Amino acid sequence: MTCTRTATLAVSPDEAFALITEPERLRRWQAVSAVVDLRAGGDFRWTVSPGHVAAGSFREVEPGRRVVFGWGWEDSAELPPDASTVTVTIEPAPEGSRVTLVHEGLGEEQERMHGEGWTHYLARLERLASTGDAGPDEWAATPDPMTAVSAAEAVLAAVQPVLRGLTTDDRTKPTPCADFDCHAVAVHLMGSLVGLGAMAGVTVVDAEGTSLENRISVLTAQAIDGWRTVDLDGPVTGPRGNEMPASYAQGLLPFELLMHGWDIAQAAGLPLNVSDEVVDYLRKITEPLMPSARERGAFGPEVSPADDASPLDRLAAYAGRTPIAA
């Protein structure tokens, strides 16, 4: 079966093509993370929503006009990578450009599900093209199933708009972390992501020279991919050379990203929209690690949250942080 959807974008065809193919643009409306080798025969792989990774290869690429690629899902027997075909055609229109997406090679249920998905994401693409901001994606807010890896992807999706909203003036603003301004927290977070990737056995490479949002997104995605393959029944080597259960250690990635994302959001006065379900999950899986983390100074003593504190602010208080406003 075939699914066809269209969208009218208030941008030129070249800009529309960029929104559909470039990782930094894809993260604004469709993907949490994306890797793209944009050439015939090149591969793509992007996390569309937490826990759901689409992959395939490009078959035809006509810049500004047309792109054809195989489509499927990792860990899917019904529709594995490259098992179906997506053709996106871009034409000039009075409003800017018209995008037509045709998804072929789907079964009946797959056509229904992908039809809902393309309707959802193309509406976000239209909103991005017209306003510059697609807004938070509710499909990325609460993973199902909830794991440390999918929680990390949900946190990344929430932190990305904060990073995109930073200005040069925010660099030197104080954060809830004593002696760390906003820039220092971001640098510390990037170092932590490299270390957390190493714990999972992967070398995490910084995309230096690009935006802060891109650098942290790329580093986090690499670390997440490393943790996908870790044997959670075994140990990993901790930050000080000590062994710890992998099932505990994997929770450090989403927790570190969330707490430092919160620090940055507090400094810049920007909202950080994380679902209560993700916050509750991270509280539970990090409790076994917190005593040793406090001993080595990674987190301060727990503080009392305000009576009307949100679940996220209560989690920050658990990690020894007080909101800037307080």
> Mean pLDDT by 10-residue block, N- to C-terminus, for the chain (326 residues)?
97 98 98 98 98 97 98 96 98 98 97 98 98 96 96 98 98 93 98 96 96 98 97 89 89 96 97 98 93 84 94 96 81
Note the pLDDT of residue 96: 98
Tell me the backbone φ, ψ of residue 78, rounded to 5 degrees.
-75, -40
Answer CATH for 3-131 from 3.40.50.970, 1.10.3720.10, 3.40.1160.10, 3.30.530.20: 3.30.530.20
Note the pLDDT of residue 179: 86
Distance from C-alpha of 190 to C-alpha of 220, rounded to nearest angstrom: 9
Note the pLDDT of residue 292: 83
- Provide the residue ranges of all domains of the chain, joining segments of one domain with +: 3-131, 141-318
Q: Which of 154, 224, 218, 169 is nearest to 196 (CA)?
A: 224
What is the CATH code of the structural domain delimited by 141-318?
1.20.120
Contacts with 94 (C-beta within 8 Å, 6 or more apart), sequence order: none
Note the pLDDT of residue 297: 80
Decide: 226 and 197 in contact? Cβ < 8 Å: yes
Contacts with 153 (C-beta within 8 Å, 6 or more apart), sequence order: 32, 33, 47, 49, 50, 51, 140, 143, 224
Note the pLDDT of residue 300: 87
